[in-house]
Amino acid sequence: MFTALALLMVLAVVALVAWALQLMQAATDRQEFSLMLAGCMVCSAAVGLATVMVLTLTGPDRTVAGAMLQAPDPAGVSSIRSCCPGMGSFRPGDPVAVSQLFDQIAPRYDQLNDLLSLGLHRVWKRQAIAWLRPRAGQRLLDLCCGTGDLALVLAEKVRPGGLVLGLDAAAAPLAVAARRAAARPWLPLQWRQADALATGLAEGWADGAVIAYGLRNLSDPGAGLAELRRLLRAGGRAAVLDFNRPDPAAGPPLGSSPPCSCLALRHVVVPTAAAAGLRDHYAYLEESLRRFPTGADQERLARLAGFARARHRPLGGGLMGLLELLA
């Protein structure tokens, strides 16, 4: 009985979250930051309320997603080879596997991003754009552009006379991006399927560039930063947004609790993705984060790649990190 009551309460909160996400989408389209922030606050408050209710009614050992699914995952994210066809051999950093993964999740990628981050990914991306300082007439590059949400925002800011090129190795996300752009044909946008490590673009092609949640998936993040530097003109800016891997040397003692990013992946992201039938597609995230350079290492790699300035700063309470680069 208590479980059924908890489910009813959570469903009511989910409806509230869905409304808030629609509000944030409308705010994004109209460039209204305050309205977008209000939607994020509603989402956060709603999910916090749901967490309290579920923990109260079902016990402290269940996550929100676990209570909704009635099927907690005892294995966490340690297994990425169990249930999704074609994902059994997935290895983070394998370019073919990464392309296949994003081809499979492309239809639901944007909705899951909103749900899993409570819409906060829009705020984090805005912070990346704020560092980039896009302006009319610039030529900007969105590497690993996925379904194009960042490219669409940037294209609004480089009008008139500018251009935004969205580049991704996977075909399906680019198709989604092209459909979204078709609804706004006045935007100066182009799309290209290519490898972020070998774009084929001329040296100094871009005035600025952004990579959101893409550097971690490259086979060699250092080589990715080197290609990014090659593509930027002198003085150009770049922003790299991704999950934040805390520095083990600066972290808690061995044997203590895992970092917040890992806990969020295990107990929120993966169980929620499982509800959409995408457990294995998201279970790889923790392994990809384990092999991802820390913020300090990203700064070092960026300087080796030739950037004049590199600063990594945590976002979202340390869950995310933004690498700010100046060529």
- Tens digit of each residue's pLDDT (9 = 90 or more) over 292-317: 999 999 999 999 999 999 999 999 88
Residue 63: band (very low, low, confident or very high) from pLDDT cuts 50, 70, 90: very low
CA–CA separation, 196 vs 227, rounded Å?
A: 8
The position carrying tokens 């409806």 is 15
For the ranges 46-50, 79-83, 159-163, the one whose mean pLDDT is highest: 159-163
- pLDDT above 60 for 201: yes
* Of 250, 318, 265, residue with least CA distance to 77: 265
pLDDT of 114 above 90:
no
251 Cβ partners below 8 Å, 6+ apart? 259
182 to 150, 152, 187, 189: CA distances (angstroms)? 15, 11, 9, 10
Mean pLDDT of 65-77: 33
Q: Taking Cα atoms as reference points, which of 310, 317, 269 lies closest to residue 289? A: 269
Domain ranges of the chain: 1-71, 115-249+289-326
The whole-number pLDDT of residue 57 equals: 42
Instruction: Say how far apart CA 251 and CA 256 lie, in whole Å.
Output: 10
CB atoms within 10 A of CB 267: 19
pLDDT at 54: 41
| pLDDT of 216 above 80 | yes
- Lowest-confidence pick of 11-25, 261-275, 302-316: 11-25
To the nearest whole percent, how much of the chain has pLDDT over 90? Answer: 47
pLDDT range class, residue 135, cuts 50, 70, 90: very high
pTM of the full structure: 0.70
pLDDT of residue 82: 33
Q: Averaged over 205-210, what is the pLDDT? A: 98
- What is the CATH architecture assignment of 115-249+289-326? 3-Layer(aba) Sandwich (3.40)
Mean of pLDDT over the chain: 75
Taking only the tens place, the pLDDT of each residue in 241-258 is 999 987 766 555 444 445
Res 32 pLDDT > 90: no
Region 141-154 average pLDDT: 96
Higher pLDDT, 70 or 278: 278
Give the per-residue pLDDT at 259: 55
Mean pLDDT, residues 103-126: 79
pLDDT over 50 (residue 61): no
Lowest-pLDDT range of 229-233, 279-283, 304-308, 310-314: 279-283
> Would the pLDDT of 65 be above 70?
no
Show the CA angle centred on residue 39, arms to residues 17 and 155, nearest 5°.
115
* pLDDT for 67: 32
Mean pLDDT of 163-170: 97
Give the per-residue pLDDT at 74: 32
Q: 198 exposed, middle or buried (CB, 10 Å; 0-12, 13-18, 19+)?
A: exposed
Residue 64 pLDDT > 70 = no
